[in-house]
Structure 1
Amino acid sequence: MTHDDHVDAALEVDPWAGDSRLPEFFGPSWAAISAFHTLLVDEGVRRGLVGPREVPRLWERHLLNSAAVVPFLPEAGRIIDLGSGAGLPGIVVAAMRPDAEVVLLDPMERRTEWLLEAVAALGLGNVVVLRARAEDVHRELSGVAVTARAVAPLDRLYRWALPLLVKGGVLVALKGARAHEEVVAAARVGTKLGGGAAEISSARAIEGSEETTVVRVVREVVRGVR
């Protein structure tokens, strides 16, 4: 079976492929999101940013999962997507929050090259792609929100993300089943960096899609701590 045959076969068993609720849910962002799905299936797989086995799960596990974080984000201001990788959730956020500036931050050249090409292909004019580690831009980059998906445990994520937030800014992290354990383990680090109490919520983009766990932390104090 060729690569293309494998992708076609995978798409045939995607339970969300062709679901009429998708364009209704995404609304004005549907054209960009649909085109992004196509890019992930084609170029994303070829470049190793998406595993072939993930193709039949792209809608539910990746795109709808990313979309579930959007209601927790402000509609405007700078949103920084930490460790953006293939653009999840950053590109989805940018498409669904057109009045925000979305910074896709990643330290790997091959990923930032992909992100630049994807952003151009999708015509997203509200995106900045930045190749850097979070800790290297703490003093020069800040935003009203930081998103993170499958980046690091919360104790490490707090050290990278909270210094990027202005006072009152919010970290919104997509987490798994161990979210509560991570929140407890990272509480001291979060407080030291000016973070408030973590809120844990369950979110679902569309009825019938998988729930995801969202951890939300507001930076209440800015102390100039590392």
Structure 2
Amino acid sequence: MPEDVKREYRSTLRAAQAADTRSAIVAAAAHLFVERGYAATTIDAVAADAGVSRKTVFTAVGGKVELLKTAVDWAVAGDDGAVSVRNRPAVLDVLARSGAKDLLAGWTRVLVGIDVRVAGLFRALEVAAESDDDARTLLEESQRQRLSGAREIVKRLIALNALSPDVSRAEAVDIAWLATDPVLYDRFVRVRGWSVTRFEAWLARLLVTQLLG
């Protein structure tokens, strides 16, 4: 095997190993944040759960807030890809729909899919934000991103001339923003024992009633 091919092979192998290590660390952190909470999760615990050294955790991902941010980002997106949620095929498909009810049904499906993955982490983040400045900053950024997504949906409803005349644009954005809050899923599904299917149907009906009239 030529030397340049060997170098490329070794480089590719190292990159793959580094990605696997990073994934294992983030998965371990996500598990511990959900099970123990942010404050009780230590870097040493994450390292032990992932089967790596403490130094590797910092090198591969970072400190606790970086671990939480990465875990939340990956849970929202569904993977560790660099493509933003706004530009994911599922969201692009929703925004391209020409029927308002169909659009809201598709968007609800996307939201609930995110809720299933992120609700536990988001609960840990909200608790952490009460006492940790870095976690609070992360929560505020998450809220801004959710607000941006809500504005996109309302903008599309207005373009379809489907927004109810009984609700202002600002009110519609607030309602859509609330629908993106994983706390709704957490309370109905985890606390009250609703099925995911029942929650999705309820959320879709709520959005249709509130936004379309």
TM norm structure 2:
0.28
Relative to its length, the structure with more strand (as a share) is 1
TM norm structure 1:
0.27
Larger Rg: 2
Relative to its length, the structure with more helix (as a share) is 2
